Amino acid sequence: MQDSLYVALSSQIALERRLDTIADNVANASTIGFRATGVKFEDVVSGTGQKSVSFASSGKTYLSTAHGAMTQTGNPFDFAIQGDAWFAIETPAGTVMTRDGRFSMTENGELMSIEGYPVLDSGGAPIQLDPRGGPPKAGADGSLRQNGQLAGAIGLYNFDPGENFVRYGNSGVVPPRTPEPVTDRSDVGIAQGFLEESNVNPVLEMTKLIQVQRAFENTAALMKKADSSTDDAIKTLGSK
C-alpha cells in the first residue's frame, strides 16, 4: 500500500516538471527565436521479480529542433537563420547561442543583439562595422558588405544543448561546450530582413496542459484511495 503512495508521488513530481515546461513554452509563444522545451521520462524500477515497483523519473528536459515560421520585416538589421545553426552573442555568462536575429548597430559600428550584447563572427570576435557606412547588405553566408566592401561576417554555429540545458535571456541557450562554427554547408544560411518566430504551438501546449491536469487528478485520487486503504487496514488490525 505504501508502494502505491510512492508511485503516485513520483508521478505528481513528474507532472509538476511537465507543467513547468508547458507554462514556460506558452509564456514564450511569441518570443522571437524561441525553441520549445520538451521533457522525457523514464521508468525507475525498484526491486526484482514480483516485488519490483516502477516509479516515474523526475524527467530530463531537451530542446525542440523544430523551426519556427519565418516573418518578413524588411528591417536590414533583422536576420533569420535558414537551417540548423545558431547566432553567437557575448554575454556576462560567456558565449550564448540564440536564434533571435534582432540586431542593431551602435554609433561606434558595433553589431549588437536586442539585449545589447555583441554579436560574434565565426572566429568568436565581436563584429565591428563602419558606423558611417549605413545598414550592411548580408549575403546568404553571413557576409556583411557596406558600400560594396566586405565589412564583416555574422558567425553561424552548431552545438548540442544536451539534456537539462540552461537558458539565458529571451531565447538564448548556454552551450555546455565550445560551439563549432559552421563552414562550407549549403543547407545553412542567413536571410536578411526576416525573423524566425517561436516554434511553440499554443494549441498543442494547451492540449498537453489539459492532459497533465487530468493525470494529476487521477494520481491524487490514487493517493487518496491508498491512504484510505491504509487507514482501514490499521483499524481492522487494531480491533483484533
What pTM was estimated for this model as a whole? 0.80
Q: Do 215 and 166 share a domain, yes or no?
A: no
Q: How many domains does the chain have?
A: 2
151: which DSSP letter? E
H or E, element range at 204: helix 202-238
Q: Do 104 and 60 share a domain, yes or no?
A: no
Q: Do 77 and 189 share a domain, yes or no?
A: yes
Q: Do 186 and 83 share a domain, yes or no?
A: yes
Contact 42, 158 (CB under 8 A): no
Is 107 strand, coil or helix?
A: coil
Q: How far apart are CA 45 and CA 71, in angstroms?
A: 47
Q: Do 159 and 174 share a domain, yes or no?
A: yes
Range of the domain at 36: 2-64+200-238
Q: Do 17 and 74 share a domain, yes or no?
A: no
- CA angle 122/124/129 to nearest 5° reads 75
Q: What is the pLDDT along the chain (240 residues), one digit of tens a residue?
A: 455 555 666 666 777 888 889 999 999 999 999 999 998 866 554 445 555 555 556 678 899 999 999 999 999 999 999 999 999 999 999 999 999 999 999 999 999 999 999 999 999 999 999 999 999 999 999 999 999 999 999 999 999 999 889 999 889 999 999 999 998 788 899 999 999 999 999 999 999 888 888 877 777 676 666 655 555 555 555 555
How do strand 111-112 and strand 172-174 relate by DSSP bridges? unpaired
